[in-house]
Copies of this chain bind each other. A is one copy, B any other.
Amino acid sequence: MPDYKVYYFNVKALGEPLRFLLSYGNLPFDDVRITREEWPALKPTMPMGQMPVLEVDGKKVHQSVAMSRYLANQVGLAGADDWENLMIDTVVDTVNDFRLKIAVVSYEPDDEIKEKKLVTLNNEVIPFYLEKLDDIARDNNGYLANSKLSWADIYFTAILDYLNYMTKSDLVANHPNLQRVVDNVTSIESIRSWIDKRPKTEI
């Protein structure tokens, strides 16, 4: 079994899909949490100077979606064929677009610009994405692709706390089909066990 390490800050955010997927497959991993003080010295050792980073038998890789797809293949959560994988990839990239649209407002440093952007985000962008994603979950019986569990469900559920934190809301509260996705993922014993034992962090 390969030796896995996840390098990230002491937050869930973009590292959590990796931790969920490794936990789902019962693959032991070293959950390395870097402090803000340690980061400047470590940054040059990371590909592209960013985290999360996954280390597999000493080889460091980056890009959270690419790493999640790789782990999904190791733990049996990819699609059964190219078309199923396309369905998974499409919804994961849509979830990621949604995250970026939220993040660009959440991290806007200028208060005046931020207030303006928040209006569009809250009145247009968030309702649009939630409705589309909820429709997909309805059409797939409580999953995000192919009417069965895949890494798309894991990815969405794992970053949901981060999306909720940035939007100061409970995004799935009024979207029962997305709530079913979350319930389907968090009721898996290995995921439940990870959630119970992971460090408690706000983000």
Residues of chain A touching chain B, judged by Cβ–Cβ distance below 8 Å, are 47-48, 61-63, 65-67, 69-70, 73-74, 82-83, 85-87, 89-90, 92-94, 100, 104, 113, 132
Contact = CB atoms under 8 A, between A and B. Distances in A.
Given A63-B89, A63-B93, A66-B89, 10 more contacts: A47-B90, A61-B90, A66-B93, A67-B90, A69-B85, A69-B89, A70-B89, A74-B82, A100-B100, A113-B113
A48 B94 CA distance: 9
Nearest to A81: B73
26 contacts: A47-B90, A48-B94, A48-B132, A61-B87, A61-B90, A63-B89, A63-B90, A63-B93, A63-B94, A65-B89, A65-B93, A66-B86, A66-B89, A66-B92, A67-B86, A67-B90, A69-B86, A69-B89, A70-B82, A70-B86, A70-B89, A73-B82, A73-B85, A74-B82, A100-B100, A104-B104
A106 to B, nearest CB: 15
A70 to B, nearest CB: 4
9 tightest A-B contacts by CB? A66-B89, A70-B86, A63-B93, A63-B90, A73-B82, A66-B90, A66-B93, A70-B82, A66-B86
Nearest to A88: B66
Nearest to A83: B70
Contacts of A73: 82, 85
A86 to B, nearest CB: 4
